Structure 1
């Protein structure tokens, strides 16, 4: 399961890093529950409106999983919990800006594919 979640994490963020909106969005279920520390629960439509805005900005925001930080914990008859640390980078005013954050994702196994519902 660890390898499957690690692979899906890399797939999602490959689409994010290359700003491929539709393939990125397709990896999430419509019953998505997206929680942010500053905003609380964010509705599905708002999440993807925000991503579309981010993808259209002149700077390129990229995400990288911090090596060695990935944890995967199975959830019986559901999927898994992914915990890790990631960095987001972009160029602002000619200087690289980096933010490092801990994250949690819950993956639901559906129809043979990992899907991230929230």
Structure 2
């Protein structure tokens, strides 16, 4: 199953051009950090409709172990996973989030995250850790994730 990994790069005092208006780096960082939080709140709480809204329909998800998948494949994977008793929770590694602007498009977010699994009747365990890069596109004030690269996975549960 494909999981999203996200980290962003953005110098704290840099300025960037976004759409027709200028946004300072703190505003961009806060916006993308909020989107990351909303995305994984939806993932952690099995809110499929929110995930559908945050992903672009032309999504390309590159996973070092799973290959390339698209929007429909990812939504299908989430639907199946959310039906199972096994629950998975994502946690962003503190201090790993970096965000950088992409002129005329949006932003890139990079970082490291960990996934924890809870099997029915058992305690939560660290399942995996990976690096990620996510590309966010802004059109008319609406942000959608268009590309994801999830790599350097370390699996802890077999």
Task: Confirm or deny that 1:67 pairs with 2:94.
Answer: yes
Which of 64, 70, 73 is residue 46 of structure 1 equivalent to?
A: 73
Structure 1: state its 5+ residue gaps.
Answer: none
Structure 2 matches for 1:1-118, cutoff 5 A? 1-92=28-119, 94-98=122-126, 99-118=128-147
Alpha-carbon distance in structure 2 between the residues aligned to 1:56 and 1:111: 35
Deviation string for 1:38-91 (max 9, x for gaps)?
222112211111111111110211111111000001110001110001111112
By percentage of residues, which structure has more strand? 2
The alignment's TM-score, normalised by the length of structure 2, stands at 0.71
More RCO (CA 8 Å, sep 6+): 2
Unaligned runs of 5+ in 2: 1-27, 148-158
- Contact 2:134-2:145 at 8 Å conserved across structures: yes
Aligned residue pair count: 118
Contact 2:39 2:54 in 1 (8 A): yes
- The Cα shift of 1:113 comes to 1.9
Question: Which entry has the higher C-alpha Rg, 1 or 2?
Answer: 2
Give TM-score, length-normalised by structure 1. Answer: 0.93
